[in-house]
Amino acid sequence: MNNDFIETNKNLELALSEFTANNTEENFVRLLVELSQSFVWVPCHARISDADHKRLIDMVNACSDDLNELVDRTFTMQDEVRFVPDILQNEGEFFFPIFTSEEAMGDYGKEFSNVQKHITDVLSLARNNEKPLRGFVLNAFTEPFVLPSELWDFFERLYLAPMDGELMITEKDGSGKA
């Protein structure tokens, strides 16, 4: 891990705290800019193939009644392990949880395989999710911030915008209308 990454997440956490304390347009834009440049943590379920699952069960069943026989044994997956993001549900709406750090997940994160990805990669995962997502929820259990799915296209353009000097958001047609 490099120092740029650590600084980026500190800036993201600071921007989130400032927006939570003072919900202004300026703080909102700063939070979006910081988020657009960040690597976030995604809680995922690890999924193994049916064949690997059968091999694992066979290995366990091959032990006598003492499962201590499995200690220090290695099991190597033959197929790819898929990481499927967890989805939170609140009052019938679905949210894609993302976190600034593993610590921000609290006990919730202990139930999952936690994967760190750039927010643009996470955006692709969210768009390909089978559930109708209401949006991302950043740090759902501490200082929750929802980025509605209706803003994802705008957010993606924000990431692609040059970051030197003033920030100008333009439509894809270059009209300057946000």
Number of domains in the chain: 1
Kindly state the average pLDDT of the residues 143-168: 75
The yes-or-no verdict on residue 11 having pLDDT over 80 is yes
In a domain, 87, yes or no: yes
15/33 Cα distance (integer angstroms): 9
The yes-or-no verdict on residue 132 having pLDDT over 50 is yes
Query: Highest mean pLDDT range out of 55-59, 80-84, 140-144?
Result: 140-144
- Full 3-state SS string of the chain: CCHHHHHHHHHHHHHHHHHHHCCCHHHHHHHHHHHHCCEEEEEEEEECCHHHHHHHHHHHHCCCCCHHHHCCCCCCCCCCCEEEECCEEECCEEEEEEECCCHHHHHHHHHCEEEEEEHHHHHHHHHCCCCCEEEEEECCCCCCEEEEHHHHHHHHHHHHCCCCCCCCCCCCCCCCCC
In a domain, 78, yes or no: yes
In a domain, 178, yes or no: no
Output the pTM of the full model.
0.74
In a domain, 175, yes or no: no
The yes-or-no verdict on residue 175 having pLDDT over 50 is no
The yes-or-no verdict on residue 53 having pLDDT over 50 is yes
In a domain, 170, yes or no: no
- Rounded to the nearest 10°, the torsion over CA 73, 77, 82, 84 is -20
Range of the domain at 156: 3-160
Q: Which pLDDT belongs to residue 82?
A: 80
In a domain, 176, yes or no: no
Q: Which pLDDT belongs to residue 140?
A: 94
The yes-or-no verdict on residue 83 having pLDDT over 80 is yes
Q: What percent of the chain has pLDDT over 70?
A: 84
In a domain, 165, yes or no: no
How many Cα neighbours within 13 Å face the side chain of 151?
15
The yes-or-no verdict on residue 177 having pLDDT over 60 is no
Kindly state the average pLDDT of the residues 134-146: 94
Q: Which pLDDT belongs to residue 84?
A: 86
Tokens representing 68 are 């201590």
